[in-house]
Amino acid sequence: MGTSSTMRRSACVMATIAGVSAGAMSSASTAIAASHDVPEVAFEVSNVDLGADLRLRHMVVRPSAPKGTVLFLHGFPETMFAWKEIARTLGRDFEIHAFDWPGFGESSRPPAERFAYAPLDYATVLTRYIDTTGIGGDRLVIYATDIGALPALLAALNRPDIARMIVVGDFAPFDRPQYMQERLQALKEPTSAEAVRMAFNASRDEILKNAFTRGLPEAQRYALDPEFQADMARGWQNGHISSADAFANYYAHFTRDQHLLEAQLPKLKTPVRVVWGEQDIYINKDMGVEFSRRTAASLRLLPATGHYPHLQRPGETIDEVRGAFRP
């Protein structure tokens, strides 16, 4: 397993968060100029080996005097570049990390018989990443959404000192299908899961075009960064397992791992905050309300906001991160 210094010596892309091109995301030698109206924020894109056939593509921003470290965990169908614009701002004050989950972007896609793509598997990936990079502890805030949130909480059950705070939102911590969109309910059911997986694979372009603003009125819709869209499309089928396959495998073990979290909820000692899009059509805000009540975590419902608050209202995410570092 590598060390932080080893990763810093690895081949990496030196770029700025503004205007990352599709070529820069996969090249190890291309430099991209910063946007003229935003102070330059340099970041590195490279690979980190976690052992057991697991290699993650990750993005790191290292300012000269960081006030702390933030690790962003993406959801479906995203890649680590979902956090690009947020990192442009926070990277001036904080060390920023983000990676592609296995099955997404340019990270490894081991065969399902060796890696289940389950929330528990992702929790192991998360702890290995933190240990390898040496970023854990009271200087770390984890911000996790969608499929990234349950693994973060599972990791914290046995590692309460994993971070000073975990901010989670728009996910399904408990087995409550009634709070989930019908297609997600069907993905949880073994009798219908395969048909849904095939449908997801067949509708890649439609998902990448419409999933982020589905259910929002026209006035609340927002545009995605074109390079982020291109990265998702390129990374969807990066090997024999697609991002939809990884998502389906996650759901095949989802109920088991939801039950595990709920049964061990009293063990969750890491401070948690909850941020939720009030108009989330994929996972109803009532799921966030219940989780907040059960964990005594503060809950912030964002009005006129859907399932992806960090993309629709990035300023709110930035405020939450800064708030997590206040005494």
Query: Using one digit for the tens of pLDDT, what is the confidence trace for 143-162?
Result: 999 999 999 999 999 999 99
Query: H or E segment at 90?
Result: helix 84-90
Task: Put residue 268 in one of left, alpha, beta given phi > 0 → left and psi -120 to 50 → alpha.
Answer: beta
Q: pLDDT tier at 192 (50, 70, 90 boundaries)?
A: very high
pLDDT at position 95 over 90: yes
Q: How many residues does the chain have?
A: 327
Peptide bond into 77 cis (omega under 30): yes
Q: Give the residue-averaged pLDDT of 131-138.
A: 96
For residue 312, which amino acid is it? Q
Higher local confidence (pLDDT), 22 or 171? 171
Query: H or E segment at 169?
Result: strand 163-169
Rounded to an integer, what distance in angstroms lies between the CA atom of residue 197 and that of residue 117? 14
pLDDT at position 12 over 60: no
Rounded to an integer, what distance in angstroms lies between the CA atom of residue 16 and that of residue 129? 23
Asked whether the beta carbons of 187 and 197 are under 8 A apart, the reply is: yes
pLDDT of residue 190: 95
Rounded to an integer, what distance in angstroms lies between the CA atom of residue 104 and that of residue 245? 10
Higher local confidence (pLDDT), 227 or 17? 227
DSSP state of 224: P
pLDDT at position 49 over 60: yes
pLDDT at position 28 over 70: no
pLDDT of residue 51: 86
Q: Give the residue-averaged pLDDT of 39-46.
A: 84
Task: Put residue 30 in one of left, alpha, beta given phi > 0 → left and psi -120 to 50 → alpha.
Answer: beta
Instruction: Kindly report which listed range (32-46, 164-178, 242-256) carries the lowest average pLDDT score.
Output: 32-46
pLDDT at position 131 over 50: yes
Rounded to an integer, what distance in angstroms lies between the CA atom of residue 318 and that of residue 327? 17
> Whose CA is closest to 228, among 20, 42, 31?
20
From the number of C-beta atoms within 10 Å of its C-beta (0-12, 13-18, 19+), residue 62 rates as: middle
Q: Give the residue-averaged pLDDT of 102-111.
A: 96
**Around Cβ 57, how many Cβ atoms within 10 Å?**
24
Q: Give the residue-averaged pLDDT of 209-231.
A: 95
pLDDT at position 13 over 60: no
User: Which residues make beta-bridge pairs with 13?
Assistant: 45
pLDDT at position 299 over 80: yes
Q: pLDDT tier at 42 (50, 70, 90 boundaries)?
A: confident
Distance, first Cα to last Cα, the chain: 34
Q: Percent of the chain at pLDDT above 90?
A: 84
Higher local confidence (pLDDT), 3 or 311? 311
pLDDT of residue 39: 59
Residue 179 CB contacts under 8 Å (≥ 6 apart), including other chains: 172, 283, 284, 286, 287
pLDDT at position 289 over 90: yes
pTM: 0.89
| Mean pLDDT for the chain overall | 89
Query: Using one digit for the tens of pLDDT, what is the confidence trace for 222-280?
Result: 999 999 999 999 999 988 999 999 999 999 999 999 999 999 999 999 999 999 999 99
**Which residue pairs from 152-156 have beta carbons closer than 8 angstroms and sit at least 24 positions apart in sequence?**
152/73, 152/123, 152/126, 153/261, 153/268, 153/272, 154/119, 154/120, 154/123, 154/257, 154/260, 154/261, 155/123, 155/124, 155/126, 155/127, 156/268, 156/269, 156/270
Q: Which domains does the chain have, with CATH numbers?
A: 4-324 (3.40.50.1820)
pLDDT of residue 259: 98
pLDDT of residue 56: 98
